[in-house]
């Protein structure tokens, strides 16, 4: 049975290389990947700021698109996976038919590292990065709502050439928080600066995470610091994109 790739808005619009790497890694793990072409935003940004009506409209479309498919629904994002697994069902509780549909879709939805490790029992995916030291930032939604951290770290630990280093206070928020970073920019930047100091003190060549939203936020901060540290989604390491792009 094919895997349905829900690629997420930010990957589609700003980080298509993450989507490409996701397909490469899933295919290497023996999966056939399909892409439901009518997919769009799951409704998380609207939900997070309390616009539940708007979020519900987007969620209804997402449910109709995904419920028409078969097989696991895989996302390279803990935050969007959390939205589909936990919050879209919340939005549908007053409609028995939609509620059943939301539960069906939620039951098939997996974040990428979760699917590779917990469902497929994948131990490692190469080719890694030649030689690089990696610090892993576990994003808040995946860590706290989906219990994701060990999966990606285990894959990185087994990837050829990768040395994973400890990131001080790794579980602290990076400060992005979606529209929180727009509404409270001073607090967001202060949180980011603390996270970046810890990243730099880790000695890592590469900062790795599982949500491009956090990585975009942190990558911007590192760029402004003129840091040599590269930012990558963990699937890009597993697909060998770091080695390809940086000659490692």
Q: pLDDT digit string (tens) for 18-74?
A: 999 999 999 999 999 999 999 999 999 999 999 999 999 999 999 999 999 999 999
Say whether both 14 and 115 belong to one domain. Answer: yes
Given 98, 119, 140, the domain boundary residue is: 119
213: in domain? yes
Report phi then psi at 136, rounded to 5: -105, 125
125: in domain? no
88: in domain? yes
pLDDT at residue 125 in the model: 79
Q: pLDDT digit string (tens) for 182-207?
A: 889 999 999 999 999 999 999 999 99
Q: E strands of the chain, at which residues? A: 3-5, 33-34, 73-75, 109-111, 132-137, 162-165, 206-209, 230-233
Say whether both 110 and 159 belong to one domain. Answer: no
| CATH number of the structural domain spanning residue 234 | 3.40.50
126: in domain? no
Say whether both 156 and 219 belong to one domain. Answer: yes
127: in domain? no
- CB-based burial label for 116 (10 Å; 0-12, 13-18, 19+): buried
pLDDT band with cut points at 50, 70 and 90 for residue 132? very high
pTM of the model: 0.95
Q: pLDDT digit string (tens) for 87-121?
A: 999 999 999 999 999 999 999 999 999 999 999 99
pLDDT band with cut points at 50, 70 and 90 for residue 248? very low
pLDDT at residue 247 in the model: 59
Domain of 241 in residue numbering reads as: 132-246
* Residue 206 backbone class (left: φ over 0; alpha: ψ -120 to 50; beta: rest): beta
Please count the structural domains in the chain.
2
Say whether both 13 and 41 belong to one domain. Answer: yes
């Amino acid at each position: 049975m094919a895997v349905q790739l829900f690629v997420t808005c930010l990957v589609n619009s700003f980080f298509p290389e993450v989507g490409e790497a996701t397909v490469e890694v899933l295919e290497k793990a023996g999966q056939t990947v399909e892409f439901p072409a009518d997919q769009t935003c799951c409704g998380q940004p609207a939900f997070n700021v309390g616009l539940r009506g708007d979020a519900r409209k987007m969620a209804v479309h997402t449910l109709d698109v995904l419920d028409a498919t078969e097989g696991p629904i895989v996302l390279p994002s803990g935050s969007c996976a959390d939205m589909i697994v936990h919050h879209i069902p919340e939005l549908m509780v007053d409609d028995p038919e939609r509620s059943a549909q939301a539960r069906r879709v939620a039951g098939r939805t997996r974040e990428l590292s979760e699917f590779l490790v917990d469902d497929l029992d994948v131990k490692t995916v190469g080719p890694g990065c030649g030689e690089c030291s990696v610090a892993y930032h576990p994003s808040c939604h995946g860590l706290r709502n989906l219990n994701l951290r060990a999966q990606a770290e285990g894959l990185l630990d087994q990837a050829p050439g990768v040395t994973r280093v400890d990131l001080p206070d790794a579980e602290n928020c990076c400060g992005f928080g979606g529209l929180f970073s727009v509404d409270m920019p001073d607090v967001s930047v202060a949180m980011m600066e603390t996270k970046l100091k810890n990243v730099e003190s880790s000695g890592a060549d590469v900062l790795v995470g599982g949500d491009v939203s956090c990585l975009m936020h942190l990558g911007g901060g590192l760029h402004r610091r003129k840091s040599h540290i590269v930012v990558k989604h963990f699937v890009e390491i597993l697909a060998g994109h770091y080695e390809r792009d940086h000659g490692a």
